[in-house]
Amino acid sequence: MIFRRRKPSLTPVVKTEVVKKIVEIAPIKVGSGNRAVVVFFDLKCPFCARLFKETEEVMLEMAKNGLITYAMCDYVVHKDAESLHRALRCIEAEKRLDFVKRIYSGERVKADECPADDLKVCEELAEAVGVYGTPTLLFYDFSKGRGYIHFGYMTPDQVLEAIYAL
């Protein structure tokens, strides 16, 4: 029996105002391209870590070149990750990616007490576009007013293919 790798399932999304709000409130945002790639993540999610490690470099490069807006929005699934997500929001914006990288690399990171109370905003907006777990990727083209959402891990090639399909 031969097993074939299935293409990722992309569900259409046409909620431009909700997607704009998600990008606006995301604790991590790089670039200002007309196409957005939003990753809904949990800092204790192993597949989020794998996705981040494999795609972060290319996403940042595309964002810095103006091809996309790359954003990461909290979607806390593991309750023991909540303090880490709160700490992330209390760190200076330019240090947040490094914080995520350290956690996903297995480093023990101290989550200082942080009063950030806006974690649920990302989750509520995420659910409005169909997010129900992590990792979830949202690919959106603001000029066309449409995009796609994918639940679960994607390979770097699949991510790039979804971006170019916009």
Does the domain at 11-165 match CATH 1.10.760.10? Answer given as: no
**Which of the pair, 67 or 90, is modelled with greater confidence?**
67
Give the number of other Cβ atoms within 10 Å of residue 126's Cβ. 23
> Are 54 and 156 a contacting pair, CB within 8 Å?
yes
Q: Is the pLDDT of residue 5 over 60?
A: no
Q: Is the pLDDT of residue 2 over 70?
A: no
pLDDT in tens, 67-89: 999 999 999 999 889 999 989 98
> Are 150 and 11 a contacting pair, CB within 8 Å?
yes
> pTM of the entire structure?
0.91
> Are 69 and 30 a contacting pair, CB within 8 Å?
yes
Sign of the CA dihedral running 125, 130, 132, 136: negative
